[in-house]
A and B are shown apart, each in its own frame.
Chain A
């Protein structure tokens, strides 16, 4: 099978000295290791070997922001998530909203950047009916993230207190769509948060 270089027909080879090529080869191999190891080492399932081998490369991975899993829409495309919020304002009124806000988050890239907040937090939050031990274990992972979101909402809207809920949007089957039916969204409470007085924006 003909496997000629994809981007040009070479007319000249190896203008670099052997020493320069050796140095470049070393750098290329280190870079490729930093590219290949993160998706091997995570997200789960991942081997202990990959997690051991990646350790010396972690500084480079952090330096160039290469720590990606590349598992787009995998293993299965699941339901979408949003965060519904209800805020108590200083004048006693209540304001409600959603992250992301399909109607107001424009342009679309801004929508996606905000959509990632609910999607990534959802990946840490167990189902509302999960065993209590699972929920207790997971809370230290997601609660600091939710506190940050609450703090941003309170700072943005100058509210006093905000209550957050994670909404898992029901994913209808083809049969349900044909019948015109839709199931119920799954709601998971994320807590109520207020700024301490000294941190008010």
Chain B
């Protein structure tokens, strides 16, 4: 796995330790090669996960995920009793039927009154707002994550892809120093720019990147089981589905090749995403396609929150230097 060339790499990305020199013979030579190969893996792993990096991309993810969780919390609150109460759509005693895992906890399981339910929902809302502005960020991130998990585990009948992605992002924001920049915390407690680079920032962004690849991999593989994706007609299933439709694209019935092209390009993009998002050469194309696909889902199927959450997750692949250029911020 040579995802990243080691900083000490030679001209071909191989650590310059003489391990591949052809001076040895027989077993000793093989042993050196094996040692070199394992060493290269270890170096690659360490560089991938533990190189300190600029926390700016994580801070941008924090602001976006905080705003999305704020909105989600408001919507939960609009009908809190129906989602989390004694007479909820899904009784608390039946929550296991939707997702039977041990330790499937929820703060709402302990709530016996409408006031207690609203209290938990409002605490989550406040944590989401604090996360967005970056005030008491580490605490806000943990409380926001707990509030999110409480809702998802109590009301599994009402969650969908948007919540899956929101959870992934909140875990990363809780792991990393998400309030290190672009936050009220930073205004109150200034730090020299040189102290900003952090291993935890790398870990958090890497968790999003790898998790996102897992999502696209399984989503793409799942589609490969369906004949309509191979036939190029799957998108018609979404276009003609009146339950999702917010933009009428049924005029595409007259343009089957367009539906074919959109379906096949979506499939190929999703299946190849985990491989082609890493090389610089293809990353911009892959990320551009992600924005197009997810904005398309948001606008035509009314799932704007899901589309935005996926775009925010894709932001983890945009280099810090690019964000600093766009935000006109000096490097740390």
Seen from chain A, the residues whose Cβ lies within 8 Å of a Cβ on chain B are 1-16, 21, 24-25, 28, 31-32, 35-36, 39-40, 45, 58-82, 100, 102, 107-117, 120-121, 141, 144-145, 147-149, 151-152, 154-156, 169, 171-175, 177-178, 201
Contact = CB atoms under 8 A, between A and B. Distances in A.
B2 A7 contact: no
Q: Which secondary structure dominates chain B's binding surface?
A: helix
B237 A171 contact: yes
B148 to A, nearest CB: 8
A7 B53 CA distance: 8
A77 B72 contact: no
B91 A69 contact: no
Interface string B200-240: 00010101011100110011001111111100001111101
A21 B47 CA distance: 11
B79 interface: yes
Interface in B42-64: 45-54, 57
Contact of B320 (A8, A63, A116): A8
B171 interface: yes
Contacts of A75: 222-227, 229
Contact of B158 (A8, A114, A141, A201): A114
Nearest to A70: B218
Contacts of B243: 80-82, 100, 102, 115, 169
Contacts of A178: 253-254
Contact of A71 (B45, B219, B228): B219
A20 to B, nearest CB: 9
A63 B243 CA distance: 32
Interface centre among B3, B89, B199 (most CB of A within 10 A): B89
